[in-house]
């Protein structure tokens, strides 16, 4: 552990750089070149608590995806999925080639009802054996801290590990208000650093949003990068058990902050579900708390946050041979493509799932 670098990551994230990051990660390496994953995750969890001024009890309360009606729906859906998985396992055909998949994550992998999520669509492939521990509302900080995935990877020995997380860490319980401000902020980007973005509208959106984004968001991005890096260090560098397994991340898409209910004839229950989930509380409300009323600026801010998250995961992909990233940010084209503020409609998740399938099938074909 390197306390000065942890402090710099929290207090001066715009000055924190890739060299600092590499030094911080290496500080968790022991003399036998193994990473102390648990200690690092403890420290990074402490950093998350610092950003939001949460004590451990409050963190556990706000991040628990096993409570209330959502918890019941999560448990019910997971039980059905796992029962289906074991049935498939027990009825495998000797002449069929299967791809074993383990999924851990949040509501993009488990929207308990009403919406067909990414895993729902992937399960339609009869060649996939998918064991899922995903829970709607779960935090990546909890997923990694609790370490359930470690046992599951050992038991199921998957060919593919899917992980989805970070969104709930950012937007639950009005926490996103910490990431934005109407006070003028220091610019992080220049035109040169955005030169790889071909879409001029997207580039202008990111530049427009810069002055509204606080340093806490960039601390958050570094912490997420550190957590994902340590999980993959644990999987690929601490052991040889999973050396042939591929891991796939994704970074969400550009949402539209919106108060109120959506409706379309194709999704007649959408306004009821939106009302039950109180759509608007995740993005719209925190922005309004901070006095950011303009819809274009609101969408520009969300575009920037998701762009940064995707870039972070793409950078991790470049540092691990068997880690891949699915960028699905271009799939929704308008607010009407979203079921609520955070989740796509089923037909859009189908497109996302197709990108997963193309990647999975491509990598598995090359290995056979």
Residue 27 lies in a domain: no
Please give the pLDDT value at position 237. Answer: 93
The model's confidence at residue 147, banded by pLDDT at 50, 70 and 90, is confident
Return the pLDDT at 368.
58
> Could you give the residue ranges of the DSSP H alpha helices within 12-63?
18-26, 37-52, 56-63
Give 199-232 pLDDT, tens digit per residue: 888 888 988 998 999 999 999 999 999 999 999 9
Q: What is the pTM of this model?
A: 0.92
Task: Examine residue 224 and state whether it is found in any structural domain, yes or no.
Answer: yes
| Helix H or strand E encompassing 229 | helix 215-232
Instruction: Give the pLDDT mean for 129-153.
Output: 89
Q: How many independent structural domains does the chain possess?
A: 1
| Mean pLDDT value of segment 335-350 | 93
Question: Is 307's pLDDT higher than 80?
Answer: yes
Helix (H/G/I), strand (E/B), else coil: 294: coil
pLDDT of residue 65: 65
Read off the CATH number of the domain in which 338 is found: 3.40.50.1110
What pLDDT score was predicted for residue 100?
A: 97
Model confidence at 245, in pLDDT bands (50, 70, 90)? very high
Is residue 57 one of the residues assigned to a domain? no
Which of 18-22, 171-175, 231-235 has the weakest average pLDDT? Answer: 171-175
- For 171-199, the pLDDT digits (tens) are 877 889 999 999 867 667 666 677 777 78
Band (pLDDT 50/70/90 cuts) for residue 47 is very high
Q: Which long-range contacts (CB under 8 A, 24 or more apart) does 56-61 make?
A: 59/141
pLDDT band, residue 296 (cuts 50/70/90): very high
Q: Indicate if the pLDDT at residue 114 is higher than 80.
A: yes
pLDDT of 290 over the 90 cut: yes
Residue 291: domain span: 66-366
Inside any domain, residue 58: no
- DSSP symbol at 130: E
DSSP code of residue 236: I
* Across 313-331, average pLDDT: 95
For 264, phi then psi, to 5°, come to -150, 150
| Pair 162, 103: CB distance under 8 Å | yes
In a domain, 10, yes or no: no
CB 278 within 8 A of CB 69: no
The candidate with the shortest Cα–Cα distance to 6, out of 238, 227, 314, is 227
Tell me, yes or no, whether 30 lies in a domain. Answer: no
Task: Please check the confidence at residue 112 and state whether its pLDDT lies above 90.
Answer: no
Which pLDDT band holds residue 281 (cuts at 50, 70, 90)?
confident
Name the average pLDDT for the chain: 89
Residue 237 counted as domain residue: yes
pLDDT digits 0-9 by tens, 56-93: 777 766 666 666 777 788 889 999 999 999 999 999 99
Whether residue 19 is contained in a domain is answered as: no
Q: What percent of the chain has pLDDT over 90?
A: 64
Q: What is the rounded distance in angstroms from the CA atom of residue 207 to the CA atom of residue 190?
A: 8
pLDDT band at 302; cut points 50, 70, 90? very high
Q: Name the region of 354 (left: φ>0; alpha: ψ -120 to 50; beta: rest).
A: alpha
Q: What is the pLDDT of residue 259?
A: 83
- Return the bridge partners of 102, or none: 131, 161
Q: Going edge to edge, which strands form the sheet with 160-163? A: 128-132, 99-104, 160-163, 246-250, 323-326
Residue 359 reports pLDDT greater than 90: yes
């Amino acid at each position: 552990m390197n306390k000065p670098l942890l402090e710099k990551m929290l207090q001066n994230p715009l000055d924190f750089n890739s060299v600092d990051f590499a030094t911080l990660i290496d500080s968790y390496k022991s003399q036998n070149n193994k990473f102390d994953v648990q200690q690092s995750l403890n420290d990074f969890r402490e950093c998350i608590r610092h950003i939001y001024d949460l004590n451990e009890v409050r963190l556990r309360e706000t991040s628990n995806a096993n409570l209330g009606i959502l918890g019941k729906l999560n448990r019910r859906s997971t039980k059905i999925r796992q029962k289906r998985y074991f049935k498939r396992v027990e009825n495998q055909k000797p002449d069929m080639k299967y791809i074993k998949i383990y999924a851990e994550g949040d509501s993009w992998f488990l929207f308990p009802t009403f919406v067909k999520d990414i895993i729902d669509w992937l399960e339609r492939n009869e060649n996939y054996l998918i064991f899922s521990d995903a829970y709607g509302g779960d935090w990546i900080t909890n997923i990694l801290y609790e370490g359930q995935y470690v046992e599951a990877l050992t038991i199921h020995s998957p060919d593919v590990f899917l992980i989805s997380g970070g969104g709930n860490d950012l937007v639950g319980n009005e926490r996103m208000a910490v990431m934005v401000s109407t006070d003028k902020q220091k610019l992080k980007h220049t035109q040169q650093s955005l030169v790889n973005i071909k879409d001029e509208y997207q580039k202008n959106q990111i530049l427009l949003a810069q002055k509204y984004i606080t340093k806490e968001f960039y601390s958050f991005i570094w912490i997420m990068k550190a957590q994902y890096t340590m999980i993959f260090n644990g999987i690929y560098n601490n052991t040889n058990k999973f050396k042939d397994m591929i891991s796939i991340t994704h970074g969400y898409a550009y949402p539209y902050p919106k108060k109120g209910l959506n409706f379309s004839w194709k999704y007649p229950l959408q306004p009821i579900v939106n009302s039950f989930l109180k759509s608007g509380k995740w993005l719209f409300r925190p922005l309004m708390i901070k006095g950011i009323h303009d819809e274009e600026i609101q969408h520009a801010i969300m575009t920037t946050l998701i762009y940064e998250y995707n870039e972070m995961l793409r950078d991790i992909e470049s540092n691990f041979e068997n880690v891949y990233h699915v960028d699905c940010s271009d799939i929704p084209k308008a607010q009407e493509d979203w079921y609520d503020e955070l989740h796509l409609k089923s037909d859009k998740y189908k497109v996302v799932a197709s990108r997963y399938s193309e990647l999975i099938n491509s990598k598995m074909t090359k290995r056979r």
